[in-house]
Amino acid sequence: MKLLAIPALLLAALVSTPAEAKLKVFACEPEWGSLVQELAGDKVDVDVATTALQDVHVVEAKPSLIAKVRSADLVVCTGAELEVGWLPQLIRQSGNTKVASGPGSFMAAMQVKTLEKPTALDRANGDVHPDGNPHVQMDPRRVLVIAKALDARLVQLDPANAATYQSRLADFSKRWLAAMVKWQAQAAPLKGRKVVVHHISWVYLWDWLGIQQIGALEPKPAVPPTAAHLASLVGTTKSNNTLAIVRAAYQDPKPADWLSDRTGVPALTLPFTVGGDAQSKDLFGLFDSTIAKLLGAAK
């Protein structure tokens, strides 16, 4: 009996090994890496392709990124063609067909209703995304919807740890809903205020907080600011009791500073994603910092 029991134990150990292996996740942006960490904890290994100091529209498909995609079980990105310039190349060169489509591919923007979806495409209007504005991470309501869909995907790919994923989602949802109540109360004085932005990165934040965007430093999306266009914004910015001229941490500060110098309206750098400033260590810190900085400009 003992001679038969030993091989059986060895077989059980071999069978259990894959279930204990961590799910490997490749996240295109820091916000989704942070969300995966919230939902999965130590059940996953997460590689994040970009930082808050990068423009994720234009990322080099480096061999190190290709290697990370090659070993991934799940790719979590924004989608809506935000990464169209580099993600398809990474997937193609990695040869990892399981993250090209199907359960191994998760696009956050596809889980929610997007804003600014064009009725017709014309590249003369700049870098317009056919599936709508992709920067959905700036609306905490949409982040919660995405979290639920992402959690379901983790359960699908790793059913052995389903209870952990579901428990962590419940905990995250409880803390996130409480934080949303707090943020909305804090941001109440911002409702109706007007802003000028560098790039149209913030439409979801404005939609949530009731803030009005009255101009952009880029004459068209992804077209660099020009002197003539900046000059055309001086009157609009000065005459609207504008709250701030807003840019993301990765964007060139010079255009916003130029307009600020001529209008007296403060130039404001917001984190835009996890890691965009010292306070934005996770998704909660991202919104804590963003709202605090907007309120600071209102004083």
Radius of gyration in angstroms for the set of CA atoms belonging to the chain, rounded to a whole number: 22
Residue in the structure block whose two tokens are 């900046």: 230
A 10 A CB-CB count for 149 gives 14
With CA atoms as reference, report the closest residue to 261 among 294, 284, 237: 237
Q: Which stretches does DSSP call E strand in 49-123?
A: 74-77, 105-107
With CA atoms as reference, report the closest residue to 105 among 147, 151, 74: 74
Q: What is the topology classification, in CATH, of domain 23-182?
A: Rossmann fold (3.40.50)
Cβ partners under 8 Å of residue 116, min gap 6: 129, 132, 133, 200, 203
> According to the model, what pLDDT value does residue 9 have?
43
> According to the model, what pLDDT value does residue 131 have?
86
Assess whether pLDDT exceeds 90 at residue 34: yes
Q: Is 270 helix (H, G, I), strand (E, B) or coil?
A: strand
User: What is the H or E stretch that residue 215 is in?
Assistant: strand 212-216
> According to the model, what pLDDT value does residue 248 have?
96
> According to the model, what pLDDT value does residue 94 have?
97
Q: Two tokens at 25?
A: 């996740």
> According to the model, what pLDDT value does residue 285 have?
98
What is the percent of the chain where pLDDT is above 70?
A: 91
Cβ partners under 8 Å of residue 296, min gap 6: none
> According to the model, what pLDDT value does residue 222 have?
85
Cα 145 to its chain centre, rounded Å, is 13
Mean pLDDT along residues 274-288: 98
User: What is the H or E stretch that residue 88 is in?
Assistant: helix 87-94
Which band of pLDDT confidence, cut at 50, 70 and 90, is reported for residue 18?
low
Mean pLDDT along residues 27-55: 97
> According to the model, what pLDDT value does residue 233 have?
97
| Cα separation, 7 vs 16, whole angstroms | 14
- 203-250 residue pLDDT tens: 999 999 999 999 999 999 889 999 999 999 999 999 999 999 999 999
Mean pLDDT along residues 161-167: 98
Looking at the chain, which residues constitute the CATH 3.40.50.1980 domain(s)?
Answer: 23-182, 188-298
CA atoms within a 13 Å half-sphere pointing along the CA-CB vector of 253: 9
Torsion, Cα 186 192 195 197, to 10 degrees, reads 80
Assess whether pLDDT exceeds 80 at residue 28: yes
pTM of the predicted model, to two decimals?
0.90
> According to the model, what pLDDT value does residue 20 have?
67
Beta bridge partners of 246: 197, 268
Q: What is the topology classification, in CATH, of domain 188-298?
A: Rossmann fold (3.40.50)
- 172-182 residue pLDDT tens: 999 999 999 99
**Amino acid letter, residue 239:** S
> According to the model, what pLDDT value does residue 21 have?
86
CA atoms within a 13 Å half-sphere pointing along the CA-CB vector of 109: 23
With CA atoms as reference, report the closest residue to 205 among 241, 246, 148: 246
> 161 with 43: CB under 8 angstroms?
yes
Q: Two tokens at 83?
A: 């990464």
| Cα separation, 64 vs 279, whole angstroms | 28
Which band of pLDDT confidence, cut at 50, 70 and 90, is reported for residue 10?
very low
With CA atoms as reference, report the closest residue to 24 among 94, 59, 73, 85: 73
Mean pLDDT along residues 264-269: 98
